[in-house]
A and B are shown apart, each in its own frame.
Chain A
Amino acid sequence: MVKFLLNRLAMMLLTMLCASFLVFAVCEYTPGSVARKSLGPFATQQQVDLLTAKLKANDPLVVRYGRWLGVLVGAIPDPLQDPSTGLNFKDPRGSQYFGNFGYSTLNKLPVNDVIWNRLGNTAILAGLAFLLIVPLSIIFGILSGLKEGGPLDRTLSVICITFTSIPEFASGVFLVTLFVILWPILPGTSPLNSDGGWAIPYQFVLPVAVLVIYDFGYVARMIRVSMIAVMERPYIRTAVLKGMSTRRVILGHALRNAMIAPFTVLLLQINFLISGVVVTELVFAYPGFGRLILEASLFGDISTLEAATLITVAIAVVTQLLGDLGYMLLDPRIRVR
């Protein structure tokens, strides 16, 4: 078991390295240099050239990637914070420490000051949505998988497919029209402060609703397919022919087996909810992680982008690990002996 976990950890580090290098390389081909972005549009070309030389930004890609890694693990100080650059970039944590994501050229702040706050906001949004998606999709999936092609299955399937196929911005606008304009009981934006006169809990309702509507139908469809397959298995027949009632057959025999396959899909939704909810965050002006990534990549803010990449990869690997552990819990056949 220890070996298994260590193995996973090594895989995670490797994935992070590859992903961060890819992002680094891609940023290379976006217009604008670090120096230009740090100095702003009104600096002279001479100033830019001076800073470029100071930051050694003309070194080969691999060397600069190595330097970035060095800053990250705290082996070398962040060159941008060097007072001789004249940029006045200052990190209260110091210029050399483990986990130094560098300085955001977009926000003119240390990345660590920006990113965790945003991630926290998104985690709340994602957590609330996930808490609703899990039970809803299980109930919908199980009920429609019980009798394939029956009236209940058809009704629920239509609901699921319709909801899944409405894009987030459409359902967002639709809900805003309904609950903000026509029947104003909810706020239309969710900046997570009370300046607009709405208490913060109210601000969560619409973004969470949009996410749930968009996502639960898909998961429910997955659970439905698995449930249909399980209901045709001979052990369900054994249970029925033991004289058990339908309810007991489902709760006692079908449910756990039906959850084995969709378990990964369910956990994958966590990844989606953390980094893929840009649209929802934009519609509701929600200060979230997805929006940060979007803004950073539009601006070419390498430090922020790299930090976000590492975090999302870590989350993805951890959810996968959780998925494997969950499999073992659900299915005794694959427990590590």
Chain B
Amino acid sequence: MNLIVSNPKGAAMSGSSQSDTVLDVNDLRIEFHGKSETVVAVPTLSFSVKAGESYGLVGESGCGKSTTAMAIMGYLGNTGVIAGGSIRFEGKELVGASARELRAIRGRQIAMVYQDPMSALNPVKTIGSQLAEVPLLHLGVSRTEAMEMAAAMLADVRLPDASDMLKRYPHQLSGGQQQRVVIAMALLARPSLLLLDEPTTGLDVTVEAAVIDLIGELRSRYSTSLLFISHNLGLIAETCDRVGIMYSGEMVEEGPTGDLFRKPRHPYTQGLIDCIPDITHDKRSRSLAAIPGHIPLPQERPVGCFFAPRCTGFTAGLCDRPDLELEDIGGDHVVRCIRWRDMKRSQPAQLAQIGKAQVQTEAVAVSDLTKLYKLGGDRTLKANESVSFNAAKAEIVALVGESGCGKSTLARIVTGLDRATSGEIRIAGENVAEIQAKDRPRHLLQSIQMIFQNPDSTLNPSHSAAFSIRRSIKKFGIRKGKAAIEERVRELLEMVRLSPTIANRKPNQLSGGQKQRIAIARAFAADPALIVADEPVSALDVSVQAAIVTLLLDIQRERQSTMLFISHDLALVRHVADKVVVMYLGKVMEQGTVEEVFGGGTHPYTEALISAIRSPNPDEKRRVRVHLTGDTPSPINVPAGCRFATRCHRKVGAACDSVPPPLRKMSDTHEIACHIDAAELRTTPSPFGASAQGCA
């Protein structure tokens, strides 16, 4: 057997002495004791974070990464127990530490930044009082001194007008500002270790970019070590020195960032990297390599390698041995795979060229669509303003933009959940913009179907999986007679690659991916002409996401359905769409084919969005990151000129603030709304140079 890192002496072998290891987790075992059963969330886990280092812990939901963070903080709730192993922080043992000892460490020496800043802040207390608590508690200062420190720290996290900010309540801040407050709160007592638990999940990409930059800057200023927990490989690749990949409570691979992403050895790591869409390829040049199956629940872990049921390289008698250990493969890189030498990375599948939809018959035409919400008084919220675009039959049009850009409102109007204030949406010649679903004739309802973001909340928990599919068939009279309907349900389940045995299960017995497959089957059960997919995969794990996207694309191509694909994930859009509409604050900033929008010569906002995409490929040329300042303005007081003017990095002058931008025709299909003239826009370099095209 090779070197085993889980051996307590292992830490010394990497050449670092105990003193410069900030955090040392050894053979940690975390269990949750329920009323009748015990769930082992983390069987054994060892890793260490060195002083000044940024360590990334990567894994999908349920892999135990957040549980590990909570175990470090000594906060596992009433049922969680550390059943074995040790957590040493600067030499002190944290497992079994008294409440008083833990209190002295929490917030003072180890601080934490949370996933959802809105809920992490107390809604009924001002920002100032919540921030001041930290120095009051740990640094023994007076109330006024604490407030001063809080104000200074708010300035450090680059929040404007700190003294005013102190008096505000959390709900009066934007998501990005809230996260800055949480970061400020964590750093107030100058901790030596900062735990970041998905700190940017849920934030818009341009805000995420700013928050990540801030964390990097503060880290070097305060020389804090970071434990960065995320499912986002691109983020980890850019911000961390070393990375550990977790799967089902175990470390499956660990190594220096560059080495690990360049030469991933574990089949899971390889699969994770291959299943995320990258910006340089679209659906015609590469299909996403999905990892089959799903993450096992703690009680259904197999003997031996936990990844074995999903692994193509599974070999009986080898992979199901119970004593698989982390193996050192040189250069600080360890992997828990007995066959790592044989695991060749699967080459990205090159697809046969799929021709574009040849016959360009127009399926959907949106013209001058405006949606205003009257808020009482003279305030109106402009959710959409003169939005125009069209989609040909069998085309996928992606609506892209950050939260509040009006893309979901548009989807609601198309599906009839809301009605437009003015404008037209023509579907098969009929204008549906102002007809709500309850007034729509049956054939219209049938021809427009929707796939929602969160399958957990859109399936009725008390009905079986097949119920909604069956009802859709019955209601639209697709098939008549019980047998024919059941036959159709089976076909649809087969179409979404689900076994017919699933039909009678309740949603809580299905995984997230299975639920979304049901949702897709339900949408297609009505034989719709138009599918509106609102963030259909953003609630899913990345390894499941790839499979769902591929499935959706297959069905769409087969059925020749037109699709409105709403997403904030540009890499995904690049992979899925034929045509892209970029929206900002209710207006279309740019639209064109996917090649045009991602090919350089774009609107400054698109440029910023694309540059914020992070790639886990260490060899890819670092993109020049466009730094946007500030937050998206409120849709109630929109800027008078160009909507994007307040944050734009390429403003040409006062005209941007006062005059709405003209529409620049870049080509037949490519339009940009910007004051910069067409010739100059065209010279904007592609955010990813030609050199990146070759490698993937």
Identify the A interface with B (CB < 8 A): 147-149, 233-235, 237-245, 252-253, 256-257, 260, 330-333
Q: Is B361 an interface residue (CB 8 A)?
A: no
Cα(A330)–Cα(B125), bound, Å: 10
Taking the nearest CB of chain A, how far is it from the CB of B671, in angstroms?
Answer: 39
Known: A234-B114, A243-B105, A244-B103. A257 touches B123 (CB 8 A): yes
List of B residues within 8 angstroms of A239 by Cβ: 122, 133
> Within B105-120, which residues are at the interface with A (CB < 8 Å)?
105-108, 111-112, 114, 116, 119-120
Q: Are B119 and A234 in contact (CB under 8 A)?
A: yes
Cα(A313)–Cα(B121), bound, Å: 40
List of A residues within 8 angstroms of B114 by Cβ: 234, 237-238
List of B residues within 8 angstroms of A235 by Cβ: 119-123
Closest to B188 in A: A242
Residue-wise interface mask of B (70-105) relative to A, using a CB-CB cutoff of 8 A (1 in contact, 0 not): 000101001000000000000000000000001111
Q: Are A245 and B103 in contact (CB under 8 A)?
A: yes
Given contacts A242-B133, A243-B104, A330-B124, 12 further A-B contacts (CB under 8 A): A147-B78, A148-B78, A234-B119, A235-B121, A235-B123, A237-B75, A238-B122, A243-B102, A243-B138, A257-B124, A333-B123, A333-B171
Q: Are A234 and B123 in contact (CB under 8 A)?
A: no
Q: Is B134 an interface residue (CB 8 A)?
A: yes
Q: Is B624 an interface residue (CB 8 A)?
A: no
Q: Is B137 an interface residue (CB 8 A)?
A: yes
Closest to A237 in B: B75
Cα(A237)–Cα(B106), bound, Å: 11
Q: Are B134 and A332 in contact (CB under 8 A)?
A: no
List of A residues within 8 angstroms of B102 by Cβ: 243
Closest to A330 in B: B124
Q: Is B467 an interface residue (CB 8 A)?
A: no
Contact residue among B103, B112, B122, B138 (Cβ-Cβ distance under 8 Å from A253)? B122
Of residues A239, A242, A253, which shows the largest number of chain B Cβ atoms within 10 Å of its Cβ?
A242
List of A residues within 8 angstroms of B123 by Cβ: 235, 257, 331-333
Known: A331-B123, A331-B124. A242 touches B116 (CB 8 A): no
Taking the nearest CB of chain A, how far is it from the CB of B36, in angstroms?
Answer: 14
Q: Are A234 and B137 in contact (CB under 8 A)?
A: no
Closest to A333 in B: B171
Q: Are A233 and B137 in contact (CB under 8 A)?
A: no
Taking the nearest CB of chain A, how far is it from the CB of B294, in angstroms?
Answer: 27
List of B residues within 8 angstroms of A241 by Cβ: 73, 75, 106-107, 111-112
Total chain B interface residues with beta-carbon distance under 8 A:
29
List of A residues within 8 angstroms of B245 by Cβ: none
Identify the B interface with A (CB < 8 A): 73, 75, 78, 102-108, 111-112, 114, 116, 119-125, 133-134, 137-138, 169, 171, 182, 185
Closest to B133 in A: A242
List of B residues within 8 angstroms of A253 by Cβ: 122, 125
Across the A-B interface, how many residue pairs have beta carbons closer than 8 Å? 72
Contact residue among B119, B137, B185 (Cβ-Cβ distance under 8 Å from A244)? B137
Taking the nearest CB of chain A, how far is it from the CB of B229, in angstroms?
Answer: 14
Cα(A149)–Cα(B79), bound, Å: 11
Cα(A245)–Cα(B120), bound, Å: 18
Task: Name 6 interchain pairs, CB-CB below 8 A, sorted by A.
Answer: A233-B119, A237-B114, A241-B112, A260-B124, A331-B123, A332-B123
Of residues A148, A233, A240, A260, which shows the largest number of chain B Cβ atoms within 10 Å of its Cβ?
A240
Q: Are B125 and A238 in contact (CB under 8 A)?
A: no
Taking the nearest CB of chain A, how far is it from the CB of B116, in angstroms?
Answer: 7
Taking the nearest CB of chain A, how far is it from the CB of B407, in angstroms?
Answer: 26
Cα(A14)–Cα(B134), bound, Å: 52
Cα(A178)–Cα(B564), bound, Å: 76
Cα(A308)–Cα(B121), bound, Å: 47
Cα(A252)–Cα(B137), bound, Å: 13
Cα(A205)–Cα(B473), bound, Å: 69
Closest to A331 in B: B124
Taking the nearest CB of chain B, how far is it from the CB of A280, in angstroms?
Answer: 37
List of B residues within 8 angstroms of A257 by Cβ: 122-124
Cα(A53)–Cα(B611), bound, Å: 91
List of A residues within 8 angstroms of B112 by Cβ: 238, 241
Known: A240-B75, A241-B75, A253-B125. A234 touches B106 (CB 8 A): no
Q: Which 6 pairs from chain A and chain B are nearest by CB?
A: A243-B107, A242-B107, A243-B106, A235-B122, A234-B119, A332-B169
List of A residues within 8 angstroms of B133 by Cβ: 239, 242, 244, 252
List of B residues within 8 angstroms of A234 by Cβ: 114, 116, 119-120
Q: Are A243 and B137 in contact (CB under 8 A)?
A: yes
Cα(A242)–Cα(B182), bound, Å: 11
List of B residues within 8 angstroms of A147 by Cβ: 78
Taking the nearest CB of chain A, how far is it from the CB of B203, in angstroms?
Answer: 16
Cα(A148)–Cα(B21), bound, Å: 38
Q: Are B106 and A332 in contact (CB under 8 A)?
A: no
Known: A333-B169, A333-B171. A242 touches B122 (CB 8 A): no
Known: A243-B106, A252-B133. A238 touches B121 (CB 8 A): yes
Q: Are A242 and B124 in contact (CB under 8 A)?
A: no
Closest to B35 in A: A149
Cα(A239)–Cα(B138), bound, Å: 13
List of A residues within 8 angstroms of B124 by Cβ: 256-257, 260, 330-332
Cα(A330)–Cα(B75), bound, Å: 28
List of B residues within 8 angstroms of A245 by Cβ: 103
Of residues A243, A244, A252, which shows the largest number of chain B Cβ atoms within 10 Å of its Cβ?
A243
Q: Are B121 and A240 in contact (CB under 8 A)?
A: no
Cα(A148)–Cα(B124), bound, Å: 24
Known: A235-B120, A241-B75. A332 touches B171 (CB 8 A): yes
Cα(A330)–Cα(B121), bound, Å: 16
List of B residues within 8 angstroms of A260 by Cβ: 124
Taking the nearest CB of chain A, how far is it from the CB of B244, in angstroms?
Answer: 22
Cα(A243)–Cα(B121), bound, Å: 15
Cα(A257)–Cα(B119), bound, Å: 13
Closest to B126 in A: A332
Cα(A161)–Cα(B20), bound, Å: 57
Cα(A244)–Cα(B134), bound, Å: 9
Taking the nearest CB of chain B, how far is it from the CB of A153, in angstroms?
Answer: 11
Cα(A331)–Cα(B122), bound, Å: 11
Cα(A94)–Cα(B133), bound, Å: 65
Q: Are B120 and A243 in contact (CB under 8 A)?
A: no
Taking the nearest CB of chain B, how far is it from the CB of A240, in angstroms?
Answer: 6
Q: Are A242 and B137 in contact (CB under 8 A)?
A: yes
Contact residue among B125, B171, B185 (Cβ-Cβ distance under 8 Å from A242)? B185
Taking the nearest CB of chain B, how far is it from the CB of A239, in angstroms?
Answer: 7
List of A residues within 8 angstroms of B121 by Cβ: 235, 238
